[in-house]
Structure 1
């Protein structure tokens, strides 16, 4: 248990349901249960506000805007997504000694703050990319200084190796990262799975950033069924704005693809048992949800790598085989030669893979272990707003201002 004099303050105003929203909500819930003061900044309809309110938890809440920012107290301690490292100070007016704790939950969390981030995400091996980096070299140097200083003072932490690697390569960072992996609830499991193996499962949003990866998996299932006597069925859990494109494919193979829709967390295990799901394919939190229920968990390519993996045969790996807490197959995994083709995954499956997935997630991602790690890192953090301000990174350049104007025109309120 960690009870301190701090007022732990969160600013993650998103109304959507996603991994980051759930994560910050659970951290706030943990701190409240331990007797700490917690303040949530943002609209009352934000996911984190609704999550805490529905559970009857006591906390403070303030709506903020650029014209009505939150003024901090000396005891404020901010827990923030690294993607808000520049944005937060427009909604928060912090004292120079206020402590800040950043968690990098997205590979492009920092890169998005650069003027030409859209181009940097496409490639890093292009003469024009070097020209763009030269144009905003001053800001890149400042951001690099901030990341180095934040790490030294215990205020910047990464979810996984992939997130760190992108920043390391772009900003030429020279330190070993501090990791705080995604936490997951792992409960004792007593299930009655049948030994025969036919049904596999996908679990993720069916939005247009995810469905290209699902379509690769569907292609692999079709190809496998065309060449092997043992026919597979793929159960697809999830919903989203690109569901129709998946339904169109599924209708052509209706005995192979079964669209399930969304399933509540507390109903997942009973569904897996009922359908005898022994093997699950996913990325992010979904991959951990499979493993935490004793399902052999296989990672699929990251949503940002669909083009790279479209024509690759080897594009899967078991969750248990990752290093650095990654929760998706990345480009560097292919270069390391550690990936498997779909038939290899199916042919090497055994009940041992289920046990190994559960063991991995219990040792690396168990909620209690991750929250214990988080507490220790919070206690050791000395990063302050003054440290960030002194790097000069909060003084944005002309191109960044132009980018902000475009975002406002497109109606994007927070960043």
Structure 2
């Protein structure tokens, strides 16, 4: 046995029980019908003249129903006489290359065949001007050449800063549509200036370009479409802060304020920009955001395949596995840190041989004298929080909590022969 084996082998792991977390669940069942109706009611596409090209943003976040919404937009733009195309609007994601960004879209089911329109990918940009905060304003070259633009994005809290505009439509204009160069300049002075830079830069683009409308989406705690609005250009800046408040009301969480160990099965760029939602875990890579539970040690076991080797977020956590480490791709991950100017997210935490050792190490380093008293929670990821597993010593708390329902009986954590969970 190695020294690591010797230290960790005696560490007991608690039995766990499944628990259902109860969240409000407003949702739109027929997204296609609702978006179609709202586009037609808004009249925003009636400004299209026959033959005009219309650029539609295609972001990298795992927005539910995004491929369907893009397909509807393509159909409606074409019906109005326009010639739609998609362009990757994702800052530095996909390794900051056109090929990487197109590949990232394909992994989310967004292809020319699935949406019925061409995808024009480039990292070239055009400078439109300078914001009142002194930030250069950039726009994707193909979007700049188009006759009109339609913006699509989910509105939600940002994992690194607080402001009236966080992750949403104005950020899509500033960073997504600005490509790596726009993202780089917006981040240059750090996240402390982001709350001011996002609306300042976006205003320049909105003033200078023919933006027909924006489709703003709010999701519920189950990652379902809960609210969908079509906003004309002059309503985007006014309405987004209200949509952000709606997003906070529906936001998922872990209904435990203090934990000794949190086990996250997977992180990835398809889950959140930081690999996991920092607001849910209570771990942040900047001092400009706070909140969430207080957790002593966090172990992450894997990186999603859809993340394409992007291990952004590992550095904010404490422990990981050799499986996740081997997926970590510097070329896919480091451009995010170099653009955002935040190196913490891409550091490598302690790497253990398998899931069992990663969890044992988290328990050992949680500084709880009585190992039977370690409060442990296991989640799949930060978008799948309806069912979680808790250590059996948390059952009394769960039984008394109005948002928690205990399911079944406590069981040992299920490890395979390699020491990994299944």
- Under TM normalisation by the shorter chain, which class is it? 0.3 to 0.5
**What TM-score results when the alignment is normalised by the length of structure 2?**
0.33
TM-score, normalised to structure 1's length? 0.33
Which has the larger strand fraction? Answer: 2
* Bigger relative contact order (CA 8 A; separation at least 6): 2
